[in-house]
Structure 1
Amino acid sequence: MPAAPSPAIEDYLKTVYAHTEWQSDPITPSVLAGKLGVAPSSVTEMVKKMAAQGLVQHVPYGAVRLTDAGRERALAVVRRHRLIETWLVREMGYGWDEVHDEAEVLEHAVSDRLLEAIDDRLGRPARDPHGDAIPAADGSIASEPFLLLAEAPTGHAGRVIRISDRDPEILRDLERAAIGPGSEVHVTDVSPDAVSITVGDRAGATVAVSPAAAAAIWVTA
Protein backbone atom coordinates (compact mmCIF):
# COMPACT_ATOMS: atom_id res chain seq x y z
CA MET A 1 0.00 0.00 0.00
CA PRO A 2 1.34 3.49 -0.81
CA ALA A 3 2.19 5.70 2.13
CA ALA A 4 -0.36 8.30 3.10
CA PRO A 5 0.51 11.65 1.56
CA SER A 6 2.00 14.35 3.73
CA PRO A 7 -0.06 17.46 4.53
CA ALA A 8 1.97 19.33 1.90
CA ILE A 9 1.19 16.78 -0.79
CA GLU A 10 -2.48 16.81 0.22
CA ASP A 11 -2.53 20.60 -0.17
CA TYR A 12 -0.98 20.36 -3.63
CA LEU A 13 -3.39 17.65 -4.79
CA LYS A 14 -6.42 19.53 -3.47
CA THR A 15 -5.28 22.75 -5.16
CA VAL A 16 -4.71 21.05 -8.52
CA TYR A 17 -8.16 19.45 -8.28
CA ALA A 18 -9.94 22.63 -7.17
CA HIS A 19 -8.44 24.64 -10.03
CA THR A 20 -10.34 22.65 -12.64
CA GLU A 21 -13.47 21.85 -10.64
CA TRP A 22 -15.27 24.96 -11.89
CA GLN A 23 -13.40 25.70 -15.12
CA SER A 24 -11.52 23.65 -17.68
CA ASP A 25 -8.06 25.24 -18.01
CA PRO A 26 -5.37 23.03 -16.39
CA ILE A 27 -3.16 24.53 -13.73
CA THR A 28 0.40 25.61 -14.50
CA PRO A 29 3.29 25.50 -12.01
CA SER A 30 3.32 29.31 -11.76
CA VAL A 31 -0.40 29.45 -10.96
CA LEU A 32 0.04 26.61 -8.48
CA ALA A 33 2.83 28.53 -6.77
CA GLY A 34 0.64 31.62 -6.52
CA LYS A 35 -2.32 29.74 -5.07
CA LEU A 36 -0.18 28.01 -2.47
CA GLY A 37 1.96 31.04 -1.69
CA VAL A 38 5.25 29.22 -2.26
CA ALA A 39 8.28 29.79 -4.46
CA PRO A 40 8.21 28.38 -8.02
CA SER A 41 11.29 26.31 -7.19
CA SER A 42 9.39 24.64 -4.35
CA VAL A 43 6.56 23.77 -6.74
CA THR A 44 9.03 22.29 -9.22
CA GLU A 45 10.49 19.98 -6.59
CA MET A 46 7.11 18.95 -5.18
CA VAL A 47 5.64 18.27 -8.63
CA LYS A 48 8.63 16.04 -9.41
CA LYS A 49 8.02 14.18 -6.16
CA MET A 50 4.32 13.72 -6.85
CA ALA A 51 5.02 12.60 -10.43
CA ALA A 52 7.44 9.99 -9.11
CA GLN A 53 4.65 8.71 -6.85
CA GLY A 54 2.26 8.50 -9.80
CA LEU A 55 -0.03 11.26 -8.50
CA VAL A 56 0.38 13.83 -11.29
CA GLN A 57 1.44 14.07 -14.91
CA HIS A 58 3.73 16.94 -15.86
CA VAL A 59 6.16 17.93 -18.58
CA PRO A 60 8.67 20.77 -18.09
CA TYR A 61 6.98 24.19 -18.40
CA GLY A 62 3.65 22.47 -19.00
CA ALA A 63 0.43 22.03 -17.04
CA VAL A 64 0.09 19.80 -14.00
CA ARG A 65 -2.67 17.17 -14.25
CA LEU A 66 -3.85 14.61 -11.74
CA THR A 67 -3.55 10.94 -12.54
CA ASP A 68 -6.39 8.63 -11.52
CA ALA A 69 -4.50 7.89 -8.31
CA GLY A 70 -3.91 11.59 -7.70
CA ARG A 71 -7.57 12.43 -8.28
CA GLU A 72 -8.62 9.72 -5.84
CA ARG A 73 -6.39 11.15 -3.13
CA ALA A 74 -7.39 14.72 -3.95
CA LEU A 75 -11.08 13.85 -3.59
CA ALA A 76 -10.38 12.20 -0.24
CA VAL A 77 -8.91 15.40 1.20
CA VAL A 78 -11.62 17.52 -0.44
CA ARG A 79 -14.19 15.28 1.26
CA ARG A 80 -12.53 15.82 4.64
CA HIS A 81 -12.32 19.59 4.12
CA ARG A 82 -15.94 20.02 3.10
CA LEU A 83 -17.35 17.73 5.77
CA ILE A 84 -15.37 19.60 8.41
CA GLU A 85 -16.67 22.94 7.14
CA THR A 86 -20.23 21.61 7.29
CA TRP A 87 -19.70 20.24 10.80
CA LEU A 88 -18.25 23.53 12.04
CA VAL A 89 -21.26 25.48 10.75
CA ARG A 90 -23.98 23.05 11.81
CA GLU A 91 -22.60 21.80 15.12
CA MET A 92 -20.01 24.30 16.36
CA GLY A 93 -21.67 27.64 15.67
CA TYR A 94 -19.21 28.93 13.07
CA GLY A 95 -20.31 31.29 10.32
CA TRP A 96 -19.83 30.17 6.73
CA ASP A 97 -17.27 32.97 6.38
CA GLU A 98 -15.13 31.56 9.23
CA VAL A 99 -14.65 27.89 8.42
CA HIS A 100 -12.22 27.71 5.50
CA ASP A 101 -8.98 28.36 7.39
CA GLU A 102 -10.07 26.15 10.30
CA ALA A 103 -10.84 23.29 7.94
CA GLU A 104 -7.47 23.76 6.22
CA VAL A 105 -5.82 22.75 9.50
CA LEU A 106 -8.25 20.07 10.68
CA GLU A 107 -8.43 18.23 7.35
CA HIS A 108 -4.93 16.85 7.94
CA ALA A 109 -5.68 15.66 11.47
CA VAL A 110 -9.10 14.02 11.23
CA SER A 111 -9.01 10.22 11.17
CA ASP A 112 -11.18 8.19 8.81
CA ARG A 113 -13.13 6.91 11.81
CA LEU A 114 -13.92 10.41 13.07
CA LEU A 115 -14.77 11.59 9.57
CA GLU A 116 -17.26 8.74 9.18
CA ALA A 117 -18.83 9.67 12.53
CA ILE A 118 -19.12 13.32 11.46
CA ASP A 119 -20.68 12.33 8.14
CA ASP A 120 -23.18 10.07 9.90
CA ARG A 121 -24.11 12.70 12.51
CA LEU A 122 -24.69 15.30 9.80
CA GLY A 123 -26.98 12.96 7.85
CA ARG A 124 -24.64 12.38 4.90
CA PRO A 125 -24.79 15.94 3.51
CA ALA A 126 -24.40 16.33 -0.25
CA ARG A 127 -22.99 19.89 -0.16
CA ASP A 128 -21.00 22.07 2.21
CA PRO A 129 -22.14 25.51 3.47
CA HIS A 130 -20.82 27.20 0.30
CA GLY A 131 -22.59 24.78 -2.04
CA ASP A 132 -19.55 22.73 -3.01
CA ALA A 133 -20.39 19.06 -3.56
CA ILE A 134 -19.03 16.73 -0.89
CA PRO A 135 -17.40 13.68 -2.48
CA ALA A 136 -18.86 10.37 -1.34
CA ALA A 137 -16.68 7.87 0.49
CA ASP A 138 -16.27 5.95 -2.78
CA GLY A 139 -14.85 9.04 -4.51
CA SER A 140 -17.90 9.88 -6.61
CA ILE A 141 -18.99 13.51 -6.73
CA ALA A 142 -22.13 15.18 -8.05
CA SER A 143 -22.04 17.86 -10.75
CA GLU A 144 -24.47 19.79 -12.93
CA PRO A 145 -24.19 22.39 -15.73
CA PHE A 146 -23.26 25.84 -14.42
CA LEU A 147 -22.02 29.30 -15.30
CA LEU A 148 -20.63 32.23 -13.36
CA LEU A 149 -23.13 34.90 -12.42
CA ALA A 150 -20.60 37.37 -13.83
CA GLU A 151 -21.06 35.72 -17.24
CA ALA A 152 -24.84 35.32 -17.11
CA PRO A 153 -26.81 37.42 -19.61
CA THR A 154 -29.71 39.66 -18.77
CA GLY A 155 -32.80 37.53 -18.37
CA HIS A 156 -30.98 34.45 -17.12
CA ALA A 157 -32.79 32.65 -14.30
CA GLY A 158 -31.20 29.95 -12.20
CA ARG A 159 -30.35 28.60 -8.81
CA VAL A 160 -27.17 29.47 -6.92
CA ILE A 161 -25.09 26.30 -6.86
CA ARG A 162 -21.91 27.47 -5.21
CA ILE A 163 -20.21 30.55 -3.75
CA SER A 164 -16.44 30.71 -3.44
CA ASP A 165 -15.22 30.80 0.16
CA ARG A 166 -11.98 32.63 -0.62
CA ASP A 167 -13.18 36.10 0.43
CA PRO A 168 -14.98 36.19 3.82
CA GLU A 169 -16.14 39.77 3.24
CA ILE A 170 -17.98 38.74 0.08
CA LEU A 171 -19.64 35.92 2.02
CA ARG A 172 -20.78 38.36 4.71
CA ASP A 173 -22.14 40.78 2.10
CA LEU A 174 -24.07 38.02 0.35
CA GLU A 175 -25.45 36.72 3.62
CA ARG A 176 -26.78 40.20 4.40
CA ALA A 177 -28.42 40.21 0.97
CA ALA A 178 -29.98 36.78 1.65
CA ILE A 179 -28.05 35.20 -1.22
CA GLY A 180 -26.68 31.70 -0.69
CA PRO A 181 -26.59 28.21 -2.18
CA GLY A 182 -30.10 27.29 -3.27
CA SER A 183 -31.23 30.88 -3.81
CA GLU A 184 -33.29 31.39 -6.97
CA VAL A 185 -32.02 34.42 -8.88
CA HIS A 186 -33.05 36.28 -12.00
CA VAL A 187 -30.63 38.61 -13.78
CA THR A 188 -32.39 41.88 -14.53
CA ASP A 189 -29.47 44.03 -15.69
CA VAL A 190 -25.76 43.68 -16.41
CA SER A 191 -23.33 46.62 -16.32
CA PRO A 192 -19.60 47.08 -15.74
CA ASP A 193 -20.34 48.21 -12.18
CA ALA A 194 -22.79 45.53 -11.03
CA VAL A 195 -25.06 42.64 -11.88
CA SER A 196 -28.61 43.43 -10.81
CA ILE A 197 -30.70 40.44 -9.76
CA THR A 198 -33.95 39.59 -8.05
CA VAL A 199 -33.66 36.90 -5.39
CA GLY A 200 -36.28 34.30 -4.60
CA ASP A 201 -39.74 35.70 -3.98
CA ARG A 202 -38.61 39.20 -3.07
CA ALA A 203 -41.54 40.68 -5.01
CA GLY A 204 -39.40 42.32 -7.63
CA ALA A 205 -36.87 43.92 -5.26
CA THR A 206 -33.45 44.08 -6.90
CA VAL A 207 -30.02 43.49 -5.45
CA ALA A 208 -26.87 44.96 -7.01
CA VAL A 209 -24.05 42.41 -6.89
CA SER A 210 -20.52 43.75 -7.27
CA PRO A 211 -18.28 42.39 -10.04
CA ALA A 212 -16.11 40.65 -7.42
CA ALA A 213 -19.12 38.95 -5.86
CA ALA A 214 -20.63 38.04 -9.23
CA ALA A 215 -17.32 36.37 -10.11
CA ALA A 216 -17.61 34.25 -6.94
CA ILE A 217 -21.14 32.94 -7.57
CA TRP A 218 -21.96 29.92 -9.74
CA VAL A 219 -25.55 29.40 -10.90
CA THR A 220 -27.34 26.67 -12.82
CA ALA A 221 -27.01 26.95 -16.56
Structure 2
Amino acid sequence: MNIFDRSKHIYLSPDFEEIIKDTIRFFNGTPVHSISIAERFHGTGVYAIYSIAKTGIYSKFHLVNRTAFHIPIYIGKAVPKGWRQARQGLSENTRSYELNNRIREHSRSINLGEGLDIGDFFCRFMILEGKEGDLIGTVEAALIRKYQPIWNTLIDGFGNHDPGKGRYEQAKSDWDVCHPGRSWADKCQGVPANQEVLLQSIENFMAGLNSEEDA
Protein backbone atom coordinates (compact mmCIF):
# COMPACT_ATOMS: atom_id res chain seq x y z
CA MET A 1 0.00 0.00 0.00
CA ASN A 2 1.30 3.43 -0.92
CA ILE A 3 2.08 6.03 1.74
CA PHE A 4 -0.37 8.89 1.51
CA ASP A 5 1.19 12.06 0.09
CA ARG A 6 -1.29 14.91 -0.30
CA SER A 7 1.05 16.86 -2.57
CA LYS A 8 0.65 14.20 -5.26
CA HIS A 9 -3.07 15.04 -5.51
CA ILE A 10 -2.76 18.81 -5.98
CA TYR A 11 -3.11 20.11 -9.52
CA LEU A 12 -1.33 23.39 -10.23
CA SER A 13 -1.36 25.25 -13.53
CA PRO A 14 0.93 28.22 -14.16
CA ASP A 15 -1.37 29.31 -16.99
CA PHE A 16 -4.68 29.16 -15.11
CA GLU A 17 -4.37 32.45 -13.22
CA GLU A 18 -3.49 34.34 -16.39
CA ILE A 19 -6.43 32.81 -18.26
CA ILE A 20 -8.84 33.99 -15.54
CA LYS A 21 -7.25 37.46 -15.50
CA ASP A 22 -7.66 37.62 -19.27
CA THR A 23 -11.34 36.68 -19.11
CA ILE A 24 -11.95 39.35 -16.44
CA ARG A 25 -10.13 41.96 -18.54
CA PHE A 26 -12.30 41.05 -21.51
CA PHE A 27 -15.45 41.03 -19.39
CA ASN A 28 -14.75 44.50 -17.99
CA GLY A 29 -14.24 45.81 -21.52
CA THR A 30 -17.59 44.64 -22.86
CA PRO A 31 -20.28 47.25 -23.63
CA VAL A 32 -22.81 48.16 -20.93
CA HIS A 33 -26.51 48.14 -21.76
CA SER A 34 -29.71 49.12 -20.02
CA ILE A 35 -30.93 45.96 -18.31
CA SER A 36 -34.06 46.15 -20.46
CA ILE A 37 -32.10 45.04 -23.52
CA ALA A 38 -34.13 45.65 -26.65
CA GLU A 39 -32.19 43.25 -28.85
CA ARG A 40 -32.72 39.51 -28.41
CA PHE A 41 -29.42 37.67 -28.68
CA HIS A 42 -28.33 34.07 -28.40
CA GLY A 43 -25.62 32.52 -26.29
CA THR A 44 -24.62 31.48 -22.79
CA GLY A 45 -22.08 33.04 -20.45
CA VAL A 46 -21.56 35.38 -17.52
CA TYR A 47 -23.16 38.74 -16.72
CA ALA A 48 -23.08 41.56 -14.19
CA ILE A 49 -25.81 43.98 -13.12
CA TYR A 50 -25.00 47.52 -12.02
CA SER A 51 -26.97 50.20 -10.20
CA ILE A 52 -26.57 53.96 -10.61
CA ALA A 53 -29.42 54.89 -8.24
CA LYS A 54 -29.25 58.50 -7.03
CA THR A 55 -31.80 57.96 -4.27
CA GLY A 56 -32.82 55.17 -1.94
CA ILE A 57 -30.79 52.62 -0.03
CA TYR A 58 -28.42 51.96 -2.96
CA SER A 59 -27.75 55.64 -3.74
CA LYS A 60 -24.00 55.39 -3.14
CA PHE A 61 -23.75 53.30 -6.29
CA HIS A 62 -24.27 56.54 -8.19
CA LEU A 63 -20.96 57.84 -6.84
CA VAL A 64 -19.19 54.54 -7.52
CA ASN A 65 -20.56 53.94 -11.01
CA ARG A 66 -21.38 57.40 -12.34
CA THR A 67 -18.45 57.70 -14.80
CA ALA A 68 -17.73 54.00 -15.33
CA PHE A 69 -19.37 50.82 -14.15
CA HIS A 70 -16.91 49.74 -11.45
CA ILE A 71 -18.89 47.77 -8.85
CA PRO A 72 -21.71 45.37 -9.76
CA ILE A 73 -24.69 44.77 -7.52
CA TYR A 74 -25.05 41.19 -8.82
CA ILE A 75 -23.11 38.67 -10.92
CA GLY A 76 -24.59 35.57 -12.46
CA LYS A 77 -24.25 32.94 -15.14
CA ALA A 78 -26.40 31.33 -17.78
CA VAL A 79 -25.34 27.83 -18.77
CA PRO A 80 -26.38 25.61 -21.68
CA LYS A 81 -29.24 23.18 -21.24
CA GLY A 82 -27.97 19.88 -19.88
CA TRP A 83 -24.85 21.57 -18.44
CA ARG A 84 -25.26 20.10 -14.96
CA GLN A 85 -25.61 16.61 -16.40
CA ALA A 86 -22.58 17.16 -18.68
CA ARG A 87 -24.66 16.64 -21.79
CA GLN A 88 -25.42 18.93 -24.69
CA GLY A 89 -29.13 19.62 -24.80
CA LEU A 90 -29.13 21.43 -28.15
CA SER A 91 -28.06 20.49 -31.65
CA GLU A 92 -25.35 22.54 -33.35
CA ASN A 93 -27.98 24.23 -35.51
CA THR A 94 -30.17 25.27 -32.57
CA ARG A 95 -29.61 28.65 -30.97
CA SER A 96 -29.63 28.94 -27.19
CA TYR A 97 -31.01 32.09 -25.54
CA GLU A 98 -30.26 31.29 -21.90
CA LEU A 99 -28.15 34.42 -21.28
CA ASN A 100 -30.68 36.74 -22.87
CA ASN A 101 -33.55 35.07 -21.01
CA ARG A 102 -31.76 35.24 -17.66
CA ILE A 103 -31.13 38.97 -17.96
CA ARG A 104 -34.75 39.54 -18.98
CA GLU A 105 -35.91 37.56 -15.95
CA HIS A 106 -33.80 39.78 -13.70
CA SER A 107 -35.22 42.85 -15.39
CA ARG A 108 -38.73 41.70 -14.47
CA SER A 109 -37.68 41.06 -10.85
CA ILE A 110 -36.20 44.55 -10.52
CA ASN A 111 -39.29 46.07 -12.11
CA LEU A 112 -41.44 44.35 -9.49
CA GLY A 113 -39.15 44.93 -6.51
CA GLU A 114 -40.17 47.57 -4.02
CA GLY A 115 -37.73 50.49 -3.75
CA LEU A 116 -36.10 49.78 -7.11
CA ASP A 117 -36.30 51.77 -10.36
CA ILE A 118 -35.61 49.77 -13.52
CA GLY A 119 -34.05 52.86 -15.10
CA ASP A 120 -31.22 52.73 -12.54
CA PHE A 121 -29.99 49.30 -13.64
CA PHE A 122 -27.56 48.32 -16.35
CA CYS A 123 -25.73 45.16 -17.36
CA ARG A 124 -22.73 43.83 -19.20
CA PHE A 125 -22.16 40.27 -20.28
CA MET A 126 -19.63 37.95 -21.86
CA ILE A 127 -20.73 35.17 -24.18
CA LEU A 128 -18.85 31.92 -23.65
CA GLU A 129 -19.60 29.17 -26.12
CA GLY A 130 -17.87 26.16 -27.59
CA LYS A 131 -14.84 25.08 -25.57
CA GLU A 132 -14.84 28.41 -23.73
CA GLY A 133 -18.24 27.49 -22.32
CA ASP A 134 -16.46 25.24 -19.82
CA LEU A 135 -15.20 28.43 -18.14
CA ILE A 136 -18.64 29.81 -17.29
CA GLY A 137 -18.79 28.65 -13.67
CA THR A 138 -15.13 29.45 -13.05
CA VAL A 139 -15.38 32.99 -14.41
CA GLU A 140 -18.58 33.67 -12.46
CA ALA A 141 -16.90 32.53 -9.23
CA ALA A 142 -13.79 34.63 -9.94
CA LEU A 143 -15.89 37.76 -10.54
CA ILE A 144 -17.89 37.22 -7.36
CA ARG A 145 -14.69 36.81 -5.36
CA LYS A 146 -13.23 39.96 -6.90
CA TYR A 147 -16.23 42.29 -6.48
CA GLN A 148 -18.26 40.73 -3.65
CA PRO A 149 -21.59 42.01 -5.05
CA ILE A 150 -24.16 42.73 -2.36
CA TRP A 151 -26.92 40.65 -4.00
CA ASN A 152 -24.56 37.66 -4.13
CA THR A 153 -22.87 37.90 -0.76
CA LEU A 154 -25.18 39.69 1.68
CA ILE A 155 -28.75 39.80 0.38
CA ASP A 156 -29.38 36.38 -1.09
CA GLY A 157 -32.25 35.33 -3.34
CA PHE A 158 -32.32 37.76 -6.26
CA GLY A 159 -31.62 34.95 -8.70
CA ASN A 160 -34.22 32.59 -7.24
CA HIS A 161 -36.99 31.09 -9.34
CA ASP A 162 -40.56 30.30 -8.42
CA PRO A 163 -40.13 26.98 -6.53
CA GLY A 164 -43.47 25.78 -7.86
CA LYS A 165 -46.56 24.21 -6.38
CA GLY A 166 -45.88 22.03 -3.36
CA ARG A 167 -42.52 23.65 -2.61
CA TYR A 168 -43.59 26.84 -0.84
CA GLU A 169 -42.66 25.60 2.62
CA GLN A 170 -39.37 27.48 2.37
CA ALA A 171 -38.91 31.01 3.69
CA LYS A 172 -39.06 34.09 1.53
CA SER A 173 -35.53 35.05 0.46
CA ASP A 174 -33.67 37.98 1.98
CA TRP A 175 -33.93 39.81 -1.34
CA ASP A 176 -37.69 39.38 -1.42
CA VAL A 177 -37.94 40.58 2.19
CA CYS A 178 -36.06 43.76 1.27
CA HIS A 179 -37.74 44.26 -2.12
CA PRO A 180 -41.20 42.65 -2.00
CA GLY A 181 -43.17 42.41 -5.22
CA ARG A 182 -42.64 39.00 -6.78
CA SER A 183 -46.00 37.29 -6.33
CA TRP A 184 -44.57 33.78 -6.03
CA ALA A 185 -42.35 34.86 -3.12
CA ASP A 186 -45.44 35.83 -1.12
CA LYS A 187 -46.53 32.17 -1.24
CA CYS A 188 -43.45 31.05 0.71
CA GLN A 189 -44.56 29.94 4.17
CA GLY A 190 -41.29 29.70 6.09
CA VAL A 191 -40.15 32.28 8.65
CA PRO A 192 -38.22 35.01 6.80
CA ALA A 193 -35.37 37.14 8.11
CA ASN A 194 -36.18 40.45 9.80
CA GLN A 195 -36.54 43.22 7.23
CA GLU A 196 -35.22 45.94 9.54
CA VAL A 197 -32.07 43.95 10.25
CA LEU A 198 -31.51 43.24 6.55
CA LEU A 199 -31.98 46.88 5.55
CA GLN A 200 -29.51 47.93 8.22
CA SER A 201 -26.99 45.43 6.84
CA ILE A 202 -27.43 46.99 3.39
CA GLU A 203 -26.80 50.46 4.83
CA ASN A 204 -23.65 49.19 6.52
CA PHE A 205 -22.44 47.59 3.29
CA MET A 206 -23.08 50.71 1.26
CA ALA A 207 -21.29 52.88 3.81
CA GLY A 208 -18.19 50.78 3.24
CA LEU A 209 -18.13 51.29 -0.54
CA ASN A 210 -15.39 53.54 -1.83
CA SER A 211 -16.37 56.10 -4.41
CA GLU A 212 -14.14 56.54 -7.45
CA GLU A 213 -12.56 59.57 -5.78
CA ASP A 214 -11.62 57.49 -2.71
CA ALA A 215 -10.38 54.44 -4.60
Length-normalised TM-score, structure 2: 0.26
Higher strand share: 1
Length-normalised TM-score, structure 1: 0.25
Higher relative contact order (CA 8 A, sep 6+): 2
